Amino acid sequence: MFKFIVQSKTSDSNARIGILHTPHGKIHSPFFMPIGTTGFVKTLTPDELQTIGAEIILANTYHLYLRPGASAVKKFGGLHKWMGWNGPILTDSGGYQIFSLQENRKNPHINAGIHRAHVKISDEGVEFKSHIDGSIHFFTPEKVIKIENALGADIIMALDECIPYDADKKYTLEATKRTHEWAVKCKKAHKIKSQALFAIVQGGMFKDLRIESAKFITNLDLPGTAIGGLSVGETKTKMYEMIETVMPHINNKKPVYLMGVGSPIDILEAIDRGIDMFDCVMPTRLARHGSFWDKNGRYNIKNSRYRLDQKPLMDKCGCYTCKKFTRSYIRHLFMEKETLGLRLMTIHNLYFLLNLMREARIAIIENKFGKFKKSFLAKFKESNE
């Protein structure tokens, strides 16, 4: 029911392609998961997502637990039926959101100005305040698994403690051990064979703790492994270093998921290091603020130079937006605050990233990934405006 097959590897890097089989279909790796945090990818329908090439989407346990509630989703037959999405779904445990959506207040246990508000962490779990109505809730590893089982995703994530990149070593060690204990409890609580449980490697920015965590999580022998706590403010060099530190200690016969990474440059660098799975809000969030990608980098359509620009967002792009509309028209939609502009930009950005994954897979098959990555990075800039 759940199986990962590595089909091809490159001779000059750790890049690889494979097929991940799930109860709701197969996914070609490496792949990117559009974010449907609260049960929908903002502004797009499931049919549109399939048209642009999405094979799997991500939803979030924290948000769905608070509204509409896991029991409500279960009454409709689970996320797939409720959302009208027939493909695979992954649910994050909500651990990251619990820590990131809080109001600013210093936590005395962490150095360097890290902030938390009403987050009480213990070995049993974490108490937090709803960002919706201020109500107090408590997540244990067992409760998170119960919620994710009710939601019914194909891949579910163990509860972990998201560690700030500049946390000191004492705190990082305590949090990493807690993540390990929670992973064990999640494994024990999870009984549904049609759902694959992944646990998460933590360890902050400390090599020894990352290695220790990778070994511990790998020894749990779960269907896949995630790497968390990266792309949270550290430098790109440090992120790549941590990936390289972890990868030799992870079972390479199983899929490896780098959480929260979505920039084209970071994705290609991570694929080069052996990563199979990615997710991030970046393409959809940038779209809603008027930013778009092309082969040369990132631009913002609100710039006045696009007022009379008759070109598509990207030349030779196969997405619906670029086939039908000019930069001038899309800029007009944004200046008028028209929802259609958000939709068209989201379609383009997701298509761009999903197509980048397709091109990467082809390059791996042809054993030309190194050349492909070098060519892309030579032209692409994170921001051109």
From CA 300, how far away is CA 71, in angstroms rounded? 41
From CA 212, how far away is CA 201, in angstroms rounded? 9
Reduced to 3 states (helix: H, G, I; strand: E, B; else coil), residue 358 is: helix
Token pair, residue 108, equals 């005395």
Catalytic residue among 154, 160, 266, 279, which? Answer: 279
- Report the phi/psi class of residue 43: left, alpha or beta, with left for phi > 0 and alpha for psi in -120 to 50: left
92 is catalytic: yes
Q: Which of 104, 108, 134 is nearest to 121 (CA)?
A: 108
Token pair, residue 342, equals 């958000």
Residue owning tokens 């990563």:
275
Beta bridge partners of 35: 58
Catalytic residue among 92, 154, 160, 266, which? Answer: 92
Handedness of CA 192, 196, 96, 178 (dihedral sign): positive
Reduced to 3 states (helix: H, G, I; strand: E, B; else coil), residue 128 is: strand
**What residues are annotated to the active site?**
92, 279
